[in-house]
Amino acid sequence: MINVIGLGYIGLPTALMMASHGVEVIGTDYNKELVATLNEGKTTFKEDGLDELFNAAVKAGIKFTTEYQKTDMYIVSVPTPYNKFSKKVDACYVVAAVKEVMKVCPKGATVVVESTVSPGTMDKFVRPVVEANGFVIGKDINLVHAPERIIPGNMVYELLHNNRTIGADDKAIGEKVKKYYASFCQGEIVVTDIRTAEMTKVVENTFRAVNIAFANELARICRHDNMDVYEIIKICNMHPRVNILQPGPGVGGHCISVDPWFLVGDYPQLAKVIDESMKTNDSQPTFVLNRIYEIMTENNITDNRKVGLYGITYKENVDDFRESPTLQLLEAQERHLARPLKCYDPFLKQDIVKNQFHDLDEFLNDVDMVVIMVKHDEIKQNWDKLKGKVILDCHNICPLEGVYHI
């Protein structure tokens, strides 16, 4: 039996996937409401195929509880935020979860940490917790780090098809854990050591952050001299060895905008390109804000209340708004004591920000200028409704005439 600890964006789909592939699973989360919702037969966030997977897992007998279970295998999948000042990983949730596991687990148990951690976190924070409980690592308790790679918006598919990495002190334990993941994962599963597994995960997200920063910097250079960055990227990408990403209003989510800071925090004298890239991405919402004021002036729009941001989530077609560029932009605006812009997002039924609309038509009726912050499918089906508006398209998706770009 596997006890999955943390039933959030990663833990829940992982638990469901294993349960629906013949593994006996109990999911544990300290959030009583979340557990109650799951026990009522409802999922806690939207994701393609998640409801079907949930139903299959329930049928197969998955259980949800707030209690930690006595079993021989744990998968810890709790958040790892970063400290905004030190830029280092904050392992407090992982440590708290492992402490709880230590209270109930029998000798011989394997503890797999799935949460993204910076290189060295398992040594620095997790091993001491295990040892403090009188266990000898490798004899009484086995430690494994198996970072996930799934992308919000396509989680279920990617859980099934992505390659994975499993880091273990002992190769045989790594192989044992691999069998559980292989119950559903059709990709290749590489077994390595813990430190390497920690590093690969952070490096993958850093690769993407640096490359998005490059695209954002190109957008700024092109704006400065009135060149078309999209045309330039398109042509460059026809080169057989060039593949530039797309500029945008900033980088959000809980991975690419967070994980690379772990390397900057741990290696401040060495991680220079990464540091600059993260700063570039973090200042992109302010760049967009300046662009909004420029375009307002050009169009004689003098009142903030006539400008609306389309999209609050951190990317298209998901309901996750953590670290989203729209929230970053509103924060920058607040620092300038400006009246907050109007906002709308089809995926958010609850109020997240001030001046938030819940109906596209009402939102559009209320503004003269629309800033496309997120390329949700909904907007692509409603270009007609945007006719006559001043439009700043941060993703180069709008086919209408006279659209502004970043």
The residue (of 141 and 247) whose beta carbon lies closer to ligand SAJ is: 247
Does the annotation mark 279 as catalytic? no
Cβ 406 to ligand SAJ shortest distance, Å: 10
Residue 208 or 306 with smaller CB distance to ligand SAJ? 208
Q: How far is the CB of 57 from ligand SAJ (least distance, A)?
A: 21
Distance CA(136)–CA(301), nearest Å, equals 68
36 and 4 Cβ atoms separated by less than 8 Å: no
Choose among 6, 260, 14: nearest CA to 119.
260
How far is Cα 383 from Cα 403, in angstroms, rounded to an integer? 12
Q: Give the interface with ligand SAJ as residue ranges (CB under 6 A).
A: 116, 148-152, 204-205, 208, 212, 245-246, 248, 251-253, 255-256, 314-315
Tokens of 362: 């009402």
The answer to whether 116 and 83 have CB atoms below 8 angstroms apart is no
How far apart CA 352 and CA 251 sit, in angstroms, is 18
List 63, 87, 178, 201, catalytic entry:
201
As a whole number of angstroms, the distance between CA 33 and CA 331 comes to 30
Please write down the long-range contacts of 226-229, taking CB distance under 8 Å and 24 or more positions apart: 229/405
Cβ distance 166 to 197 under 8 Å? yes
Task: Considering the candidates 105, 185, 255, 343, report the single residue annotated as catalytic.
Answer: 255
| Distance in Å, CB of 339 to ligand SAJ, minimum | 25
Min CB(116)–ligand SAJ separation in Å: 6
User: Is 115 in a helix, a strand, or coil?
Assistant: coil
Of 70 and 161, which CB lies nearer to ligand SAJ in the complex structure?
A: 161
Q: Could you tell me the two tokens for 346? A: 């089809």
Give whichever of 105 and 318 is closer to ligand SAJ, judged by the CB atom: 318
Cα gap 93→339, rounded to integer Å: 36
Q: Parallel, antiparallel, or unpaired for β 63-65 and 25-28?
A: parallel
Q: How far apart are CA 258 and CA 250, in angstroms?
A: 13
Q: Give me the least distance between CB of 175 and ligand SAJ, in Å please.
A: 23
What's the closest the beta carbon of residue 155 comes to ligand SAJ, in angstroms? 9
- Tell me, yes or no, if 255 is annotated catalytic: yes
Closest to ligand SAJ by CB, 218 vs 256, is: 256
Closest approach of Cβ 181 to ligand SAJ, in Å? 15
Measured CA to CA, the distance from residue 244 to residue 267 in angstroms comes to 26
At 395, list the tokens. Answer: 């993703």
**262 or 357, CB closer to ligand SAJ?**
262
CB atoms within 10 A of CB 219: 26
Look up residue 5 and give its DSSP letter.
Answer: E
**Ramachandran region, residue 226 (left: φ > 0; alpha: ψ -120 to 50; beta: rest):** left
Nearer to ligand SAJ, 142 or 346 (CB): 346
As annotated, the active-site residues are: 201, 255
